[in-house]
Chains A and B, each alone.
Chain A
Amino acid sequence: MPSYLKPDILARAEALGLKARQVVEGLRVGDHKSPYKGFSVEFVQHREYVPGDDIRHIDWKSYGRSERYTIKQYEQETNFIAHLLVDASNSMRYGSGETNKLEYAKLLAASLAYLIVRQRDSVALRVFADGWAAELPASSQLGHINTVTRTLEEVQPRDKTRIGPLLDEVADRVGRRGLVFLVSDCFDDVDGVLAGLRHLRHRGHEVVLFHVLHKDEVEFPLDGNIRFADLEGPDELRTRPHLLRPAYLRVVNRFLEEVRRGCDGSGVDYVKMVTGRPLTAALGEYLVRRLQVVRR
């Protein structure tokens, strides 16, 4: 089993299940109701044929009775496609061991992929930094998990984040509405990020932002004389961080609030993930919350 597929995380996630809050369009029968009426076995209604409809779907019996071309419509349970967008820019490199943001993001993505595939839904993976670093097409095959995890394992941080345009690109390229998971620290132009998220929502996607942050970045508990070296640039800054803590926290909290409010305003599900917290707990909490929302 890949290192990202930790049994305890997966076991808890499986027990809780993943209920899609929205019915998405799909080809496979699954737990998710499709908003589209089409070609499945459960009849819903007839409608009048219009040019362009596949003639294979004409109800000839109805035609014999009414001499009008009607089309049979069925409601089908179908799989959704989850798009995992993982930020692999240099800013995600911060932290060590399990608190490394990128590692944390990889684990989160792998866990989500496993859950989704186990529910017979499809998962597409896109890893990005300044541009696309890796892309995997959607698949619901169990073997796809291995591909996803292997791809994630191979990802190395690079470049500077450029989230907004990439989200726009995803919104344009993905025709079917689905579930978009963005895993990122969002250390980019906030307006650009929020615009990209709104674009995705505009295309009908359900969007979840996993905002991955390190504890140091949120609480800033540093002390002593520190030369801060920018992970995404050449800048260095020497200071005694404890003197800056209040100001820093004000700036960070303002940023977080801006992101959170932007998400709320756009119908984006915002989930703050601090790497110091075990992923099991953080993901489990999110899934419980999500299930409660879907059942309502």
Chain B
Amino acid sequence: MTFLSPMMLAGAAAVGVPIALHFFYKPRYRRLPWAAMSFLKEALEQTSRRLRFQEWILLALRCLVILLLALALARPGWMSAGGTGRGEAIDAVLVFDTSYSMAAREGDKTRLDLAKEAALGVLDSLPPNSSVQMFTCADRAEKLGPQSRFNLDQARQLVAAIEPTSLATDFLPGLTAALEAAESGTAPVKEIYLFTDLQKQGFERQQGAVRDLCDRIKTRANLVFVRCGKADRKLANVAVTDVQAVGTIPHTKTRVPFVVSLKNTGTEVVKGIKVGLELDGRAVERDVVQVEQIDPGQVVPVTLTGTLDEPGLRVLTVRVTGDGLPGDNRLDRLILVRDVIRVLLVDGTPDRDSPADSGSHFVRNALTPVTENRTEEYYIRPQVVTAAEVGPAHLANADVVYLLNAPAGAEADPRAGLPADFVARLKEFVAAGGGLVVGAGDQVNPADYNRVLGSGGAGLLPFDLAAAAETAPEADPFAPAPESVAEKSFLAPFRDPPFSSALRAVGIGKLLPTRETGAGSTGGRVLVRTADGKPFVSSRVVGEGEVIFVGTTLDERWTNFPGRGSDAFVPFTQFTLAHLTGRKVPGGNKTAGEPLVWFPPEAAAGYELLLPSGRRVRLDKARSTVAGEKLTVTVPPNDTAGAGVYRIVLDGEPETKGAVFAVTPDLRESANLDAAADADLARWLGYSPVVIQAGAGTEAAVNEVRVRREWTEWVLLAVLVFLVAEGAWAWVCGRAW
């Protein structure tokens, strides 16, 4: 037998009160001169033994009631079945959910604060010679320590230092690590505590595996879920899901509109959300914008306009305030602000006498949608060269290259097409982050292209081209289907009006399809199809760059796409250019938990990681490797658990000499913030696990878990019975017999 509140046993000392009263209390007696004393004495002689007996019984009952009450307050019970009970060493494993939903506030504390308090309660409740191992767990587990598993003081310090991450919840890795750690201990009793807000998705993401793991844990250790926060708490949350410079490429000398996407991921209406936009830490607008109301599930775009003064890599930061979950209220995005974008147009069908008939005419106009007198100062600077004239030198300053109906050169006469050295340099250009757009045409011979640029050559084409172009009936040209546009692509705006209508109006008389299977198809992706399913626009990522292939001409030879009859060409060109130029960012935009990879231009003695907090961490030399001929510096996923701006810099060099990474929160975390109820756990796991509430009574609750078959209720019942008996007996004694 053991007690949950052994201190209360001290209350048994109160048994001395009725005993002292019985023996030492002198009540006040009223004096009464009495004549019939002999009768009184005789009556007393007859009754004294009975009276004494009654009083002893009464005293015994009162003592018993006090003793039982003290026993009940001490909460007696048997030891847990999993071990020999309190007083013996325990191998405890503490797993902390550090997903960013744990940063939600419950009153004046965050859920993580509650978890820490509860963990300290667990540590305090551990018997001597117990061990402890601690892990953080979001979508991955990370061991916290302590270095010596018996060093509970260090464990307490580690608990205090736990911070929430920007990761999403998944209990499987944490529980897996916990079971391994528990089994590595030598104590007979093993306990695993998971401190979490019990977000549903923590189970749902890998429900079957979690259930199997919990079944295994159940046979080896006591698994206790410590609920941090209320199960029925509804969080009001608005997440910043995206920010984009829509319709343009961020460039200097103009105001650029940025569209911020806000999504209410909670189940309650959120009002009065304030949105602010910063560029390199400075607000781009004087006042924040307030969104009056966002309904549950609603996505609200908010447009903020900012002036970009200087070219280069900039960190765009969106901040919102006014909801209950801070973890997804900030989104950082790297943008490359350009002064000039140089586009090389390789025209396979130039016409010097009538430039409007040149193959590059429509693209050039689409790239510079300004009046003729302003093209020189416009930030997009197209340069037109013929396929015969083009050479590697033209790629020196180019950001994007268009191959417009440019012949690849026949196998028999390679010089009739693109020069080989140009093609070779073009491959390097794309791999280094450059963009390439290839337009079809009569001079695009599929076999030559496949051999030179496709799988048989540079490997730049998204897919190898079909054997021949297909011609549509004049009355029924091929038409791009807006619904076929890939959702997650830079062309996604064409899925919705007004761009979808413009795309639907496009008619394609002749189309050069690509082969989606077979050689050269791996890595290719169809972005837009025609209504009858033929690939129209496709892409392939090559190294740091990307290639876009359009299955028709980018002039009016095969289609009205670039002509006056279509409004789709200019936005298509702008979207494409913005996308291709946006790729060429040293570092990049990442999600929390992803590794950061940088290819430094030159080797250095060492590298440092500049964390969002401003702290510099020297990277292990093992992080700097050479893959092939490339020097690679990698920051492992566990070091990017928090959202914000990271920089990899050369050892001792300023921040500017290195790569910048904007790490955003894993928005899967806030997609469903519902917490699992106890009934949900029972349904998912197949049994009712032990769930205790984090808070002031955690230590007692933990002890309660350890003690099964608590007798308190029965003892209280006995107290009640004996109280009634005492009252009845007192009544009987009070009556004269």
Write the residues of chain A forming the contact surface with B, with a CB cutoff of 8 angstroms. 90-94, 101, 185, 187, 214, 217, 222, 224-233, 235, 237-239, 242-248, 250-252, 255
Asked if B161 is at the interface (CB within 8 A of a chain A CB), the reply is: no
Q: Which of B33-41, B224-232, B470-478 contacts A (4 or more CB under 8 A)?
A: B33-41
Closest Cβ of chain B: how far from A168's Cβ, in Å? Answer: 22
Contact A231 B35 (CB under 8 A): yes
Contact B37 A94 (CB under 8 A): no
Listed by A's residue number, 28 A-B pairs whose Cβ atoms lie within 8 Å are A90-B35, A93-B33, A94-B35, A101-B35, A187-B38, A217-B36, A225-B27, A227-B30, A227-B32, A228-B32, A228-B37, A228-B40, A229-B31, A229-B32, A229-B34, A231-B33, A231-B34, A232-B35, A235-B37, A237-B40, A242-B734, A243-B734, A244-B40, A244-B47, A245-B736, A247-B43, A251-B42, A255-B39
Query: Which residues from B are CB-within-8-Å of A91?
Result: 35-36
Known: A225-B28, A245-B736, A247-B47. A233 touches B37 (CB 8 A): yes
Query: Which residues from B are CB-within-8-Å of A90?
Result: 35
Chain B residue at minimum C-beta to C-beta distance from A246: B736
- Within B714-737, the residues touching A (CB, 8 Å) are 733-734, 736-737
Q: A94-B34, A237-B44 are in contact. List 19 more A-B contacts (CB 8 A).
A: A90-B35, A94-B36, A185-B35, A187-B35, A217-B35, A217-B36, A228-B32, A229-B32, A232-B35, A235-B37, A237-B37, A244-B43, A244-B47, A247-B42, A247-B46, A248-B43, A250-B46, A251-B39, A255-B39
Interface pairs A-B: 9 shortest CB-CB: A247-B43, A227-B29, A248-B43, A91-B35, A94-B35, A230-B37, A228-B34, A251-B39, A247-B46
Query: Which residues from A are CB-within-8-Å of B35?
Result: 90-94, 101, 185, 187, 214, 217, 231-232
Contact B47 A226 (CB under 8 A): no
Contact B32 A222 (CB under 8 A): yes
Closest Cβ of chain A: how far from B498's Cβ, in Å? Answer: 102
Q: How many angstroms from the CA of A238 to the CA of B36 in the assembled complex?
A: 14
Asked if B64 is at the interface (CB within 8 A of a chain A CB), the reply is: no
Query: Which residues from B are CB-within-8-Å of A92?
Result: 35
Query: Which residues from A are CB-within-8-Å of B122?
Result: none
Asked if B51 is at the interface (CB within 8 A of a chain A CB), the reply is: yes
Contact A232 B37 (CB under 8 A): yes
Chain B residue at minimum C-beta to C-beta distance from A247: B43
Query: Which residues from A are CB-within-8-Å of B36?
Result: 91, 94, 187, 217, 252
Closest Cβ of chain A: how far from B368's Cβ, in Å? Answer: 115
Q: Interface size on B (CB < 8 Å)?
A: 25
Contact B736 A244 (CB under 8 A): yes
Contact A248 B34 (CB under 8 A): no
Q: How many angstroms from the CA of A93 to the CA of B34 in the assembled complex?
A: 9
Query: Which residues from A are CB-within-8-Å of B30?
Result: 224-227
Q: How many angstroms from the CA of A239 to the CA of B28 in the assembled complex?
A: 11
Closest Cβ of chain A: how far from B129's Cβ, in Å? Answer: 59
Closest Cβ of chain A: how far from B25's Cβ, in Å? Answer: 11
Query: Which residues from B are CB-within-8-Å of A252?
Result: 36, 39
Query: Which residues from A are CB-within-8-Å of B31?
Result: 226-227, 229
Contact B37 A226 (CB under 8 A): no
Query: Which residues from A are CB-within-8-Å of B42?
Result: 247, 251
Known: A244-B736, A245-B736. A226 touches B39 (CB 8 A): no
Query: Which residues from A are CB-within-8-Å of B733?
Result: 243
Q: How many angstroms from the CA of A230 to the CA of B38 in the assembled complex?
A: 9
Contact B47 A243 (CB under 8 A): yes
Which of A90, A92, A244, A252: most chain B CB closer than 10 A? Answer: A244
Q: How many angstroms from the CA of A226 to the CA of B33 in the assembled complex?
A: 10
Closest Cβ of chain B: how far from A30's Cβ, in Å? Answer: 38
Query: Which residues from B are CB-within-8-Å of A233?
Result: 37
Q: Mark B410-430, 1 if CB is under 8 A from A, else 0.
A: 000000000000000000000
Candidates A217, A229, A239, A242; contact of B33 at CB < 8 Å: A229
Candidates A101, A226, A243, A251; contact of B32 at CB < 8 Å: A226
Known: A225-B27, A225-B28. A248 touches B33 (CB 8 A): no
Closest Cβ of chain B: how far from A185's Cβ, in Å? Answer: 7
Q: How many angstroms from the CA of A228 to the CA of B30 in the assembled complex?
A: 8
Contact A251 B43 (CB under 8 A): yes
Chain A residue at minimum C-beta to C-beta distance from B42: A251
Chain B residue at minimum C-beta to C-beta distance from A253: B39
Closest Cβ of chain B: how far from A102's Cβ, in Å? Answer: 10
Chain A residue at minimum C-beta to C-beta distance from B34: A228
Closest Cβ of chain B: how far from A257's Cβ, in Å? Answer: 13
Chain A residue at minimum C-beta to C-beta distance from B47: A247
Contact A94 B46 (CB under 8 A): no
Q: Mark B2-46, 1 if CB is under 8 A from A, else 0.
A: 000000000000000000000000011111111111111111101
Q: How many angstroms from the CA of A235 to the CA of B737 in the assembled complex?
A: 25
Query: Which residues from A are CB-within-8-Å of B736?
Result: 242-247
Q: How many angstroms from the CA of A224 to the CA of B28 in the assembled complex?
A: 10
Query: Which residues from A are CB-within-8-Å of B737?
Result: 246
Query: Which residues from A are CB-within-8-Å of B38?
Result: 187
Known: A91-B35, A217-B36. A226 touches B43 (CB 8 A): no
Chain A residue at minimum C-beta to C-beta distance from B737: A246
Closest Cβ of chain B: how far from A110's Cβ, in Å? Answer: 22
Query: Which residues from B are CB-within-8-Å of A214?
Result: 35
Query: Which residues from B are CB-within-8-Å of A235?
Result: 37, 41
Closest Cβ of chain B: how far from A248's Cβ, in Å? Answer: 4
Query: Which residues from A are CB-within-8-Å of B37?
Result: 228, 230-233, 235, 237
Contact B29 A238 (CB under 8 A): yes
Closest Cβ of chain B: how far from A35's Cβ, in Å? Answer: 40
Q: How many angstroms from the CA of A12 to the CA of B30 in the assembled complex?
A: 41
Closest Cβ of chain B: how far from A84's Cβ, in Å? Answer: 21
Query: Which residues from A are CB-within-8-Å of B43?
Result: 244, 247-248, 250-251
Q: How many angstroms from the CA of A227 to the CA of B42 in the assembled complex?
A: 16
Closest Cβ of chain B: how far from A189's Cβ, in Å? Answer: 10
Q: How many angstroms from the CA of A231 to the CA of B40 in the assembled complex?
A: 13
Q: How many angstroms from the CA of A91 to the CA of B737 in the assembled complex?
A: 27
Q: How many angstroms from the CA of A245 to the CA of B735 in the assembled complex?
A: 10
Chain B residue at minimum C-beta to C-beta distance from A92: B35
Q: How many angstroms from the CA of A214 to the CA of B737 in the assembled complex?
A: 23
Closest Cβ of chain A: how far from B280's Cβ, in Å? Answer: 92
Closest Cβ of chain B: how far from A232's Cβ, in Å? Answer: 7
Query: Which residues from B are CB-within-8-Å of A245?
Result: 736
Q: How many angstroms from the CA of A242 to the CA of B38 in the assembled complex?
A: 17
Known: A94-B34, A244-B40. A226 touches B29 (CB 8 A): yes
Candidates A93, A94, A225, A246; contact of B29 at CB < 8 Å: A225
Chain B residue at minimum C-beta to C-beta distance from A161: B35
Query: Which residues from B are CB-within-8-Å of A251?
Result: 39, 42-43, 46
Contact A237 B46 (CB under 8 A): no
Q: How many angstroms from the CA of A229 to the CA of B39 in the assembled complex?
A: 13
Contact B34 A230 (CB under 8 A): yes
Closest Cβ of chain A: how far from B332's Cβ, in Å? Answer: 86
Closest Cβ of chain B: how far from A247's Cβ, in Å? Answer: 4
Closest Cβ of chain B: how far from A216's Cβ, in Å? Answer: 8
Query: Which residues from B are CB-within-8-Å of A225?
Result: 27-30
Query: Which residues from B are CB-within-8-Å of A229?
Result: 31-34
Candidates B44, B46, B734; contact of A239 at CB < 8 Å: B44
Query: Which residues from A are CB-within-8-Å of B51?
Result: 243
Closest Cβ of chain A: how far from B391's Cβ, in Å? Answer: 125
Query: Which residues from B are CB-within-8-Å of A232?
Result: 35, 37
Contact A237 B41 (CB under 8 A): yes
- Within B512-537, the residues touching A (CB, 8 Å) are none
Q: How many angstroms from the CA of A222 to the CA of B28 in the assembled complex?
A: 15
Chain A residue at minimum C-beta to C-beta distance from B32: A226
Query: Which residues from B are CB-within-8-Å of A222?
Result: 32
Q: How many angstroms from the CA of A238 to the CA of B51 in the assembled complex?
A: 13
Closest Cβ of chain A: how far from B685's Cβ, in Å? Answer: 65
Closest Cβ of chain A: how far from B51's Cβ, in Å? Answer: 6
Query: Which residues from B are CB-within-8-Å of A217?
Result: 35-36, 39
Q: How many angstroms from the CA of A101 to the CA of B36 in the assembled complex?
A: 12
Closest Cβ of chain B: how far from A100's Cβ, in Å? Answer: 11
Closest Cβ of chain B: how far from A219's Cβ, in Å? Answer: 12
Closest Cβ of chain A: how far from B44's Cβ, in Å? Answer: 6
Closest Cβ of chain B: how far from A75's Cβ, in Å? Answer: 47
